[in-house]
Every structure is written in structure tokens, then in C-alpha cells.
Copies of this chain bind each other. A is one copy, B any other.
Amino acid sequence: MSKKMEISAASEPLAPIARLALRDEVVSQLKQMIDDGILIAGSRLPERRLCAQLGVSRTPLREAFRVLVSEGVLEVQPHRGATVKKLKAEDIDHMFQVLEVLEALAGELACVAMTDEELAQIERLHERMMKAFQQRDRRTFFKLNQQIHEAVVRAARNPALSKVYEGLSGQIRRIRYMAGNTDSQWVVAAEEHEKIMRALKDRNGKALQNLLRAHLRHKRERVKALLAQ
């Protein structure tokens, strides 16, 4: 009665060899170009030139446009083509308002759902980040900072939450690249992260929630200051 064939061998079930569609390759290349400043806010993206430049045809490029539009990175006007979306201070406020409740929820859930393994992982990230802080290595500090927040959200074990969180935080990420925070702001951020780590280790959801909200409100001010050039 072989209704369905089952694979018995030792084929790894979680490694589809990462076959990436050309479209996704184009998506990351375009994001890279935006991050690198090759494409700035308001730039037009003429498809023929980009096709030549990236060495792909229109099919994957146009699909990449669609996913970047849905992520809020690009906007297209009918028959006028795609441009890099420019964010206004207003938009920053709106996105941070949403991020605040999302991260609060993530913190609350993570305190319950997080494994000890994940907690230890976050702690390691935290320690590396504090080391970067002491060495005044801004680049590394911000990278690890971001990884910590993502790890907390992931530890909440809610894919729907992760998806919308990453969508919004990805949009904001492209701004804070010039990274011009004052030292005092930086000190505050580091202090806040110490408290956050404490609340995580205590699995104190309520406290964590409040800390994350305050942390995000401060971050919002820093990002808005950056946006104002």
C-alpha cells in the first residue's frame, strides 16, 4: 500500500542549497546600490540602463521592482518609472510608532517563548556590542545592536511579527547609514541596552516592554536628527 513515497535516506531536510532566483539577486543588488549611495532618494531607475548595468533582462528586473515597491523602498508612477522613495520626517514618526508596539510585543513574547539557548546567544551579542562600545567602534556597535533587536523579535516565535518588523526596520536602516550620533546619545543607548539585557535575563516581560519603548523613542529622535541633515 505505497500511497506516498517517503524519503528515508540522510538527505538534509533544511538545506535546499539556497537556489536563489535571479530576481532576488537583483533585489539585493539594488538595495546594495541604495545603501552605497549610488542611488539616492529620488533617483530614477530607467530599466534599460539597469538591465545593461546588472546584466539581466527585463523580466527579473521588473519583478525586483515590484518587491522593492512592496517593501517601501521604491515607488513607481504609471509610465513615469521607478524612483527611490524619499522618506520624510513624518514617515519616520509613523514607522516608529508602529515599531514601538511591535517591539514591545516581541519583548513580551520573547520573555515567555525564548529558549535558554537563544538567551545565551543574545547575551553573547550583547557582550560583543559592549566591547565595541568601549573601543568606540561605531560600525560594529550598530551592526550588533541591530542583530540583537532582530534576535529578540525572532525569539518571539511569531513569523507574522518578524515579517512586518523586518519590513519597517529595513526601511529605516537605509537612513541611519551616515551614522552621525553624538557621544552622549551613544552612551545613553548603551546604558539602555544594559537594562534591556537585564530584563531579558530576568524574563521580565513588562519591564522589557517599557525599556524597549523608551529605547525606540530615543532612537527615533536620533534618526530624525540625521534625516534633518
B161, A78: Cβ atoms under 8 Å?
no
Binds B, one of A101-109, A126-134, A180-188: A101-109
8 other contacts beyond A67-B69, A160-B168, A164-B168, with CB at 8 A cut-off?
A19-B78, A67-B70, A70-B71, A72-B163, A94-B158, A94-B160, A98-B160, A101-B102
Chain B residues with CB under 8 Å of A21's CB are 78
Tell me, rounded to whole Å, the shortest Cβ–Cβ distance linking A80 to chain B: 11
> Quick check: B62 and A97 within 8 Å, CB to CB?
no
Q: Which of A62, A91, A101, A105 has the most chain B CB within a 10 Å cutoff? A: A101
Interface membership of A199, Cβ < 8 A: no
Q: Determine whether A59 belongs to the interface, using a CB cutoff of 8 Å to chain B.
A: yes
Q: How far is the CA of A67 from the CA of B213 in the complex (A)?
A: 32
Assess whether A101 is in contact with B97, with CB atoms less than 8 Å apart. Answer: no
- The count of identical subunits is 2
- B residues near A59, Cβ cutoff 8 Å: 59, 62
CB neighbours (8 Å) of A160 from chain B are 91, 94-95, 97-98, 168
Do B159 and A94 touch (CB < 8 A)? yes
Q: Are B62 and A94 neighbours in the complex by a CB distance under 8 Å? A: no
Taking the closest CB of chain B, its distance from the CB of A156, in whole angstroms, is: 9
Asked whether any CB of chain B lies closer than 8 Å to the CB of A63, the reply is yes
The answer to the question of A66 belonging to the interface, with a C-beta cut-off of 8 Å to chain B, is yes
Q: Which of B63, B78, B101, B105 contacts A63 (CB 8 A)?
A: B63
- A83 CB to nearest B CB, Å: 16
Q: Does A70 lie within 8 Å of B66, measured CB to CB? A: yes
Residue of B nearest to A60 (CB): B62
Return chain B residues, CB-CB under 8 Å to A164. 98, 164, 167-168
Q: A116-134: contact bitstring with B at CB < 8 Å (1 yes, 0 no)?
A: 0000000000000000000
Which residues of B have CB within 8 Å of A105? Answer: 97-98, 101
